[in-house]
Chain A
Amino acid sequence: MNSEYKSLDKLLILKITEEIDHHTTEKIRRKMDNEITRYMPRKVLFDFNEVSFMDSAGIGLIIGRYKVAKLFGGEVEIANARPSVKKVLEMSGITRIIKINDGIRIAN
């Protein structure tokens, strides 16, 4: 996972670069919470562009980070999810509380 903080917009971009399952979430979770508590961003954007696989562990991961971000008054958004990942996201119902954004281009 890589992260980038844009202080002007108080935007924290968390780019996930691995498959998301129960095994990988433990490590990703720790890193994400470090970044969120460090910057206390207004918005946390999960960039799913490089995520080729996600099972229900990803749902728990996102809901958990949503709660952490909310503690600091921030919101959460998901960008660039592939159809297979989107299918899991939509099934879980979290799309009702977390916005899924398709057309975001994130400059490196």
Chain B
Amino acid sequence: MKGLYDNEMKLEFLSKSSNEAFARITVAAFVSQLDPTIEEISDIKTAVSEAVTNCIIHAYEDTDGIVKIVTRLIGNTVEIEISDSGKGIENIELARRPLYTTKANLERSGMGFTIMESFMDEVEISSVVGIGTKIIMKKKIKKIENTTDIKEECCSKTIV
């Protein structure tokens, strides 16, 4: 029976900054089965890195918590859900605004959500103060028709 998605992976890790690279590399490795371009992969890695960093420095404020990532492949679309049980976002609209940051002392640029939104096709944020935050990002991987393979097939047929 065909499910709602073609493939899925789940990841849970402690909110340690050393896991930022682990998270983006793991998601990128899973997504690679859709045959994305280098640009698409680095867009996804950057967006994941931003979301995971938010969980670590904002949601849990450098205390230990669990960050969860669920990645689903639906046709050519990647859906990445990143959630935490941290402090939540009081004003989502303000948080989304470019250059807005509550952590200027940490030299944060306030570009996290802006990058997620422009590197992915869709970004959905839901948050409850004191309960946690969930972000769902989607990106369609464009299929490049492999014309060289077809040509080669034609050629070999004519030779035969």
Contact = CB atoms under 8 A, between A and B. Distances in A.
A92 B20 contact: no
B115 A22 contact: no
A43 B147 CA distance: 49
B44 to A, nearest CB: 11
B46 A84 contact: yes
Interface residues of B, number: 25
A108 B109 CA distance: 32
Contacts of A92: 109, 111
A11 B116 CA distance: 35
B18 A60 contact: no
Contacts of B24: 53
A69 to B, nearest CB: 14
Most buried by B among A22, A53, A63, A92: A22
Given A55-B115, A56-B112, A19 B21 contact: yes
B19 to A, nearest CB: 8
Interface in B37-73: 38-39, 42-43, 45-46, 49-50, 53, 56-57
Contacts of A53: 21, 24, 42, 45-46, 49
A19 B109 CA distance: 17
B45 A64 contact: no
Contacts of A91: 111, 114-115, 118
Given A22-B17, A22-B57, A63-B109, A55 B49 contact: yes
Contacts of A55: 46, 49-50, 53, 115
Given A59-B109, A61-B107, A91-B115, 19 more contacts: A19-B21, A21-B21, A22-B20, A29-B107, A53-B42, A53-B49, A55-B50, A55-B53, A56-B50, A57-B53, A59-B111, A63-B107, A64-B107, A84-B38, A84-B39, A87-B42, A88-B115, A91-B114, A92-B111
Interface of A: 19, 21-23, 25, 29, 53-57, 59-61, 63-64, 83-84, 87-88, 91-92
11 contacts: A21-B53, A22-B53, A53-B21, A53-B24, A54-B46, A57-B53, A59-B109, A59-B111, A61-B107, A83-B39, A87-B42
